[in-house]
C-alpha cells in the first residue's frame, strides 16, 4: 500500500495495524498517502492528459489494449500507443507478454509502483468524498475489495522474490520468472520460470500463487495447476506453490511461504 514511499512510511507508527493507519490517513484530506501520488503525477506528466487517463484505466484494473482503450474513452489507436509508450519509458507501466515456448501477442499492462497502483484503484476515484471528510466510506470500500486486489497486486513482488531466492528446495534458478495466460484466460499460470522470455527454449518450473489470510494451498489448487501445465506443455515441468497460509497436499516439487520469500531480500 505504501510502496515504501519515504513521505508515507513515517506516518505509520510502530504497532499500528493496517486498518487503523489507513483510517487515519483517509480522515485527513492532505495526508501523505493521499497527496503524494497527485504531486508525483503532476511532476511526471504535467501536460499529458491522455497518458493520465490511460494510467488511470490501467490502475482501475484494465490490462489489455482493448479494455484500456474503452476505459480511457476510446482514444485513437496511435494516441493510445503513444501514451502507453510514454508510461513505459517512465517506468510507470510495465508491458508484459506470457512466457512460453510459443510466441504470443497477448500483451498485458500493469502499474509498476505498488503505492501508485493502490492510489489509482482505491483513492483517486473517491477523492471528492474524502475531501468531504467521508473517508470512512472509502475505507469500507477498500476493506471489501482488499483481498482480491492484494492477490493480484502482490504477484510481481512474489515473482521477483522467487527470482532472487532460487536455486532453493530443489528448484533451479531461472533467468526469467513471469506468468502465462491466454486471451480468454481459460489457462492462466501465476508463475513460469524459464531460460529466457518471452519465448523460452526451456520451461524450468510452473507455479501457482494463493495469497489469502486463512486458506491453504490444497489438492484442488494442485489439480488446477496440473490441468494448466498440460495445456502449456507435455513435459513434466516441476510444480511449485507460493502460499501465504501454507500447503495441505502432496505432489508439489516445492512450496514457499512468506518467510522464504522475505529471506530472498
Contact yes or no for 145/243 (Cβ under 8 A): no
Q: How many domains does the chain have?
A: 2
- Assigned C-alpha cell, 195: 531460460
Give pLDDT tens digits for 95-105.
999 999 999 99
**Omega of the bond leading into 222 within 30 degrees of 0 (cis):** no
Query: Looking at the structure, do residues 91 and 201 belong to the same domain, yes or no?
Result: no
| CATH code, 203 | 3.40.1350
Domain ranges, residue 101 = 9-153
Give pLDDT tens digits for 243-263.
999 999 999 999 999 999 999
Last residue of a domain, one of 153, 176, 194: 153
Residue 201 lies in a domain: yes
Taking the CB of residue 120, how many other CB atoms lie within 10 A of it? 21
**Where would I find the H helices in the chain?**
18-26, 32-44, 49-59, 65-71, 77-89, 114-118, 127-131, 135-153, 155-165, 219-232, 258-263
Mean pLDDT for the chain overall: 95
Query: Looking at the structure, do residues 171 and 138 belong to the same domain, yes or no?
Result: no
| CATH code, 35 | 1.10.10.10
pLDDT at residue number 7: 87
Give me the half-sphere count of Cα atoms (radius 13 Å) on the Cβ side of residue 56.
17
Query: Looking at the structure, do residues 245 and 226 belong to the same domain, yes or no?
Result: yes
Residue 110 lies in a domain: yes
Query: Looking at the structure, do residues 141 and 167 belong to the same domain, yes or no?
Result: no
Question: Nearest-CA neighbor of 162 among 58, 46, 257, 23?
Answer: 257
Last residue of a domain, one of 114, 138, 153: 153
Residue 27 lies in a domain: yes
Give pLDDT tens digits for 236-245.
999 999 999 9
Summarize the confidence of residues 177-191 as an average pLDDT.
95
Summarize the confidence of residues 26-52 as an average pLDDT.
93
Contact yes or no for 54/83 (Cβ under 8 A): yes
Residue 47 has pLDDT above 90, yes or no: no
Amino acid at each position: 500500500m505504501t510502496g515504501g514511499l519515504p513521505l508515507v512510511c513515517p506516518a505509520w507508527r510502530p504497532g499500528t495495524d493496517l486498518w487503523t493507519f489507513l483510517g487515519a490517513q483517509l480522515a485527513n484530506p492532505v495526508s501523505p498517502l493521499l497527496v503524494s501520488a497527485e504531486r508525483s503525477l503532476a511532476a511526471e506528466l504535467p501536460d499529458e492528459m491522455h497518458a493520465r487517463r490511460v494510467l488511470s484505466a490501467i490502475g482501475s484494473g484494465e490490462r489489455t489494449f482493448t479494455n484500456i482503450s474503452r476505459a480511457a474513452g476510446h482514444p485513437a489507436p496511435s494516441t493510445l500507443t503513444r501514451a502507453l509508450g510514454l508510461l513505459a519509458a517512465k517506468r510507470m507501466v510495465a508491458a508484459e507478454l506470457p512466457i512460453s515456448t510459443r510466441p504470443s501477442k497477448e500483451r498485458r499492462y500493469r502499474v509498476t509502483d505498488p503505492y501508485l497502483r493502490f492510489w489509482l484503484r482505491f483513492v483517486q476515484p473517491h477523492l471528492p468524498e474524502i475531501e468531504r471528510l467521508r473517508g470512512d466510506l472509502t475505507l469500507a470500500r477498500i476493506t471489501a475489495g482488499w483481498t482480491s486486489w492484494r492477490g493480484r497486486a502482490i504477484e510481481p513482488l512474489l515473482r521477483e522474490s522467487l527470482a532472487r531466492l532460487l536455486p532453493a528446495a530443489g528448484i533451479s534458478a531461472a533467468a526469467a520468472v513471469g506468468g502465462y495466460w491466454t486471451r480468454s484466460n481459460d489457462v492462466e499460470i501465476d508463475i513460469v520460470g524459464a531460460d529466457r522470455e518471452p519465448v523460452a527454449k526451456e520451461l524450468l518450473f510452473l507455479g501457482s500463487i494463493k495469497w489469502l489470510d486463512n486458506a491453504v494451498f490444497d489438492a484442488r489448487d494442485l489439480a488446477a495447476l496440473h490441468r494448466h501445465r498440460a495445456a502449456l506443455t507435455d513435459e513434466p515441468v516441476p510444480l511449485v506453490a507460493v502460499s501465504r497460509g501454507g500447503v495441505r497436499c502432496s505432489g508439489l516439487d516445492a512450496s514457499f511461504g512468506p518467510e522464504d520469500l522475505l529471506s530472498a531480500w
